[in-house]
Amino acid sequence: MNNPKSLRELDFRALTNRPYHTSPLAWEDHTLYFLLLDRFSDGQEQGYIDNDGNPVPGGTTLAFQSTDAGNAVQNEADAQLWREAGTRFVGGTLRGLISKMGYLKRLGVTAIWISPVFKQVAAQESYHGYGIQQFLDVEPRFGTRDELVETVKTAHDHGIYVILDIILNHTGDVFAYRDGQPVYDRGRTYPVAGYRNRLGQPTLPFAPVDLAVSPGEWPDGAVWPEELQAPETFTQRGKIQNWDTAPEFCEGDFESLKDVNHGSGPLDDYRPSAALNALCEVFKYWIALTDVDGFRIDTVKHMDLGATRFFSAVIKEFTASLGKENFYLIGEITGGRQRAFETLELTGLDAALGIDDIPDKLEYLVKGFRNPNEYFRLFRNSELVQKESHVWFRNRVVTLFDDHDQVRKGSNKARFCADSGANRQLIAAIGLNMTTLGIPCLYYGTEQGFDGNGGNDRYIRETMFGGEFGAFRSRERHFFDEDNPIFHEIARLLAFRKSHLTLRRGRQYLRQISGNGTNFGLPMMLDGPMRSVVAWSRIFNNIEFVCAINTHPDQPSTAWVTIDNGLNRTGELFDRLFTTDASVGSAEIPVEARNGKAIALTLPAAGFVVYGKR
């Protein structure tokens, strides 16, 4: 497959002369799995189960055993090497991902969100993929365009949709300012020293690259395709200092990543720049080539609303022409719920990711440090978006509690399982995520109980395949363990969710509880961590499921739980449909006339249950 230098080399008629994979009917029916490609798999693991369900005897990396924890940090010199490895590419590939589609299918994942795969600035260690230098090629350390096509096809063959992470807001660090790294200052532009050459030095003119003069600068010098090389592509205003001050957060550079000038004008009369038009063609190309099913768009907050709307319209029209009628556009929108919901309404994006409160409220509700209503009212405040029903939220928000940035935790970044005893509470957190409103998303390694200890981004980006930067401070041990009890419980829970439409599309109600069957109220924190049953209902087509977690990590908890008064009759039985421990609680519970109607639930320590009428 040719490596195009220019958009003029793309033949869309030839590319699109074939059938395409159809879109999901409803994205809220699916469970996403977010992976950093460099940290997922290199395909060299020994003893994992392949896509056909057979053990793989070859490979060089042994499976992790509990005694391997800490094998990379036995002394300070080794620990330093392990820490430094976390700042560099460590070897995950598309070929490795292809080999693990069976693993993901058996976990129950139905859509994968892959970190950016596009070619990075060659002289930099942007293993995460967010420093693009050539938008029309795959990062060679990850693989090839052919392998990306094969990745999507293999996923589709396993019943898995694919969402690619893309960047419109900025490129990689493809040029240098003349006088060092400036900061944004009232919209002034700064002189540029030049584009960076293949070695990272700013020796190339800040202008379209003349390969007759500099033939060695293809493909690693400057920025590609050539339509992005005009100086007008970039705002050239230095890096952002005030992340919530307009227009700075739209016009400034994202640290060393160079801000793209998307155009100008009001929302309803936005005039796209040549650069934005070029990026639209770039990402149409990737859809046409790979048959991908959606995009997660990075740093949408830092783009003009008009630019986001223009891109959304172009992509939606193009994908509709291919028969992909529900191609999904998920925007990373930070800055609170109001900004996220307004952005969705004004731009045509399908869903928001990164509504700041969700990960915090979800994680710490399960651990007993947030009032349940703080989490549930994120979905119930219909007045915020002028909607008559909070059902709107079921497919407009992607929900998760672990991710690769964790901006909310500042310098205390770590995964859910980093806290003492949190492993016991993990399934309750996933149960809450999977059975409340939104499109749920798992972060890679959650199914193996990764802890991400360390306080920095690198530590929450540990590898699944071992290498020099394995999870649990290990090296040369892989984590594709389908016998792990956490993997097994998640697979069981995802299969349960998949089999019940009510849990995916139903209305949602946080329920009042009572210890004595007389005095009811919402569970809440009082003088310390909340140790309580927290219960909610999902109701769809007159079917009610009652879901509940126990926030006490060490002891069972019992409570009367209010249910819908009109849908249920005294004496009817609710059956236990799912539990984390069948030895605790009752398989059948009668409905009683308390606070309208109620049932008495007993949950295992750190447990999760679902009850309903068969």
Q: Report the C-alpha dihedral over residues 317, 319, 323, 327, rounded to 10 degrees.
A: -110
- 380 confidence band (pLDDT: 50, 70, 90): low
Please name the residues in contact with 367: beta carbons below 8 A apart, sequence gap of 6 or more.
419, 422, 425, 529, 551
CA distances from 63 to 49, 130, 465, 469, 545 (A): 12, 30, 9, 15, 39
Contact present, 496 and 610 (Cβ < 8 Å) = yes
Give me the percent of the chain exceeding a pLDDT of 70: 97
Q: Choose among 265, 259, 270: nearest CA to 301.
A: 259
Mean pLDDT over each residue of the chain, to the nearest integer: 95
Q: Is the peptide bond before 529 cis (omega within 30 degrees of 0)?
A: no
Q: Where are the alpha helices (DSSP H) in 466-551?
A: 485-498, 501-505
pLDDT value for 340: 81
Look up residue 520 and give its amino acid.
F
The torsion angles phi and psi of 118, rounded to 5 degrees, stand at: -80, 160
* Chain segment 512-523, per-residue pLDDT in tens: 999 999 999 999
Q: How far apart are CA 65 and CA 14, in angstroms?
A: 50
Range scoring the smallest mean pLDDT among 41-45, 54-58, 64-68, 107-111: 54-58
User: Is pLDDT at 354 greater than 70 in this prediction?
Assistant: no
User: Is pLDDT at 381 greater than 80 in this prediction?
Assistant: no
User: Is pLDDT at 391 greater than 70 in this prediction?
Assistant: no
* Chain segment 177-214, per-residue pLDDT in tens: 999 999 999 999 999 999 999 999 999 999 999 999 99
User: Is pLDDT at 313 greater than 60 in this prediction?
Assistant: yes
The length of the chain in residues reads 614
Q: Beta strands 328-332 and 351-353: pairing type?
A: parallel
Burial classification of residue 54, based on how many CB atoms lie within 10 Å of its CB (0-12 exposed, 13-18 middle, 19 or more buried)? exposed
pLDDT value for 477: 98
Look up residue 288 and give its amino acid.
A
Q: How far apart are CA 138 and CA 114, in angstroms?
A: 13
**What is the pTM for the complete model shown?**
0.96
* Chain segment 90-142, per-residue pLDDT in tens: 999 999 999 999 999 999 999 999 999 999 999 999 999 999 999 999 999 99
pLDDT value for 379: 81
Location of structure tokens 């909070």: 390
Burial classification of residue 383, based on how many CB atoms lie within 10 Å of its CB (0-12 exposed, 13-18 middle, 19 or more buried)? exposed
pLDDT value for 386: 52
Ordered by where they begin, the domains of the chain are: 7-43+92-169+262-447 (3.20.20.80), 172-259 (no CATH), 502-612 (2.60.40.1180)
Q: How far apart are CA 170 and CA 260, in angstroms?
A: 5
Q: How far apart are CA 323 and CA 593, in angstroms?
A: 52
User: Is pLDDT at 385 greater than 60 in this prediction?
Assistant: no
pLDDT value for 481: 98
* Chain segment 465-493, per-residue pLDDT in tens: 999 999 999 999 999 999 999 999 999 99
Q: How far apart are CA 8 and CA 425, in angstroms?
A: 54
Burial 304-313 (b: 16+ CB within 10 A, else e): bbbbbbbbbe
Q: How far apart are CA 68 and CA 63, in angstroms?
A: 9
* Chain segment 400-454, per-residue pLDDT in tens: 999 999 988 988 999 999 999 999 999 999 999 999 999 999 999 999 999 999 9
In the chain, % helix, strand, coil (3-state, to 5) comes to 30, 20, 45
User: Is pLDDT at 355 greater than 70 in this prediction?
Assistant: no
Q: Average pLDDT for residues 551-572, to the nearest whole number?
A: 97
Please name the residues in contact with 320: beta carbons below 8 A apart, sequence gap of 6 or more.
327
pLDDT value for 614: 78
Give me the percent of the chain exceeding a pLDDT of 90: 92
Q: Average pLDDT for residues 353-357, to the nearest whole number?
A: 74
User: Is pLDDT at 586 greater than 80 in this prediction?
Assistant: yes
The torsion angles phi and psi of 518, rounded to 5 degrees, stand at: -120, -50
pLDDT value for 377: 87
* Chain segment 264-310, per-residue pLDDT in tens: 999 999 999 999 999 999 999 999 999 999 999 999 999 999 999 99
- Ordered DSSP codes for 362-380: HHHHHTT-S-HHHHHHHHH
Give the count of beta carbons closer than 10 Å to the beta carbon of residue 521.
10
